[in-house]
């Protein structure tokens, strides 16, 4: 049974958004009782709940409530557990969405890392192939250079031989002329 004094302790507060506060969930209170009356009522209610024991359902469900109620009284605000719960639920939902997004991004990152690894292996294979191709071309160039040197040497030898034959022809023509004119 609740007496008249206790009934006054259970106060109906009308809330309105705090003008100019701009913060979500911050309210200013229009009060029908004094702050002292409300503090006394809060102490009485707390004493009743604490009297039920720390493992009672009420004690467990009001954990953290008492300091919030005192702050509301002292600061003329109207914060509630329901507001904090809504905020917590919204934050929890947002956290779940962010965790889901993080997982998606981690999966995408893993796929990209795998693609990078594959691209690196392909690049290495291409470079190895091109390196071997260049080595083959260098060997061909060396062989062609050697062939060119040999051909040049042969040309020089042939030119020398040609010069010698030309001199021989001139000598033979001179001997033939000497024989014809003699």
In a domain, 145, yes or no: no
In a domain, 28, yes or no: yes
In a domain, 26, yes or no: yes
Task: Note the pLDDT of residue 29.
Answer: 52
Task: State how many domains the chain has.
Answer: 1
In a domain, 55, yes or no: yes
In a domain, 175, yes or no: no
In a domain, 9, yes or no: yes
Task: Note the pLDDT of residue 33.
Answer: 84
Averaged pLDDT in 10-residue chunks for the chain of 182 residues: 42 34 48 87 94 93 90 90 87 93 97 97 96 95 92 92 93 89 81
> Token pair of 173, please?
């023509």
Distance between CA atoms of residues 171 and 180, nearest Å: 14
Pair 90, 37: CB distance under 8 Å: no
**Which H helix or E strand runs over 27?**
strand 27-30
Does the pTM surpass 0.75? The reply is: no
> Token pair of 17, please?
């958004």
> Token pair of 47, please?
């004493």
Domain that holds residue 44: 4-79
């Amino acid at each position: 049974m609740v007496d008249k004094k206790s009934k006054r302790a259970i106060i109906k507060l009308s809330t309105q958004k705090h003008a100019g506060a701009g913060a979500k969930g911050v309210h200013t209170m229009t009060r029908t009782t004094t702050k002292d009356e409300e503090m006394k009522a809060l102490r009485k209610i707390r004493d009743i709940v604490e009297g039920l024991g720390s493992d009672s359902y009420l004690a467990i469900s009001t954990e953290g409530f008492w300091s919030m109620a005192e702050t509301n009284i002292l600061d003329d605000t109207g914060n509630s557990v329901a507001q904090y719960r809504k905020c917590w639920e919204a934050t929890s939902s947002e956290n779940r969405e962010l965790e889901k997004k993080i997982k998606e991004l981690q999966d995408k990152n893993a796929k990209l890392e795998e693609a990078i690894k594959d691209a690196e292996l392909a690049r290495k294979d291409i470079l190895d192939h091109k390196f071997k191709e260049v080595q083959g071309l260098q060997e061909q160039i060396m062989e062609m250079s050697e062939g060119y040197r040999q051909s040049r040497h042969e040309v020089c030898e042939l030119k020398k031989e040609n010069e010698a034959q030309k001199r021989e022809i001139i000598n033979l023509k001179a001997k033939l002329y000497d024989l014809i004119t003699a």
